[in-house]
Amino acid sequence: MANFDLRIQDYTGISTSLLGNYQTQMDDFMVEGAKKVINSLPNSLLYKCADKSTLNNSTTTLDSMDTRGKILNVLRLDADSSGVQRPCRYVDSFKRGRIQDSSDMELATATDPAYLIYDNVLEVYPTPTANQTADVHLVVFPSSIDASSVSVIANFPDEAEDLVVIYASIKIIDELMAELLPLQNVQTSLTNMKQYAQNNDSDIVATFGTEASARLAYNNQRYQMYEKRQIKLQQDYDRGIASLAN
The tens digit of pLDDT for each residue in 117-142 reads 999 999 999 999 999 999 999 999 99
The pLDDT value recorded for residue 238 is: 96
Collapse the DSSP code of 222 into the 3-class scheme (helix H, G, I; strand E, B; otherwise coil) and give the result: helix
Amino acid at 1: M
The pLDDT value recorded for residue 200 is: 58
Which pLDDT band, with edges at 50, 70 and 90, does 73 fall under?
very high
Strands 89-90 and 85-87: unpaired
Strands 71-77 and 85-87: antiparallel
Region of poorest pLDDT, from 145-154, 181-190, 216-225: 181-190
The pLDDT value recorded for residue 115 is: 98
The pLDDT value recorded for residue 170 is: 97
Residue in 86, 160, 168 with CA at minimum distance from that of residue 126: 86
d(CA 111, CA 99): 13
Which pLDDT band, with edges at 50, 70 and 90, does 210 fall under?
low
Whether residue 32 has pLDDT greater than 80 = yes
**pLDDT (average), residues 191-211:** 55
The pLDDT value recorded for residue 183 is: 54
Q: Which residues contact 51 (CB under 8 A, 6 or more apart)?
A: 137, 138, 140, 155
Whether residue 109 has pLDDT greater than 60 = yes
**pLDDT (average), residues 176-189:** 64
**pLDDT (average), residues 206-223:** 65
Percent of the chain at pLDDT > 70 equals: 85
Q: Which residues contact 116 (CB under 8 A, 6 or more apart)?
A: 90, 91, 92, 93, 95, 96, 99, 122, 123, 125
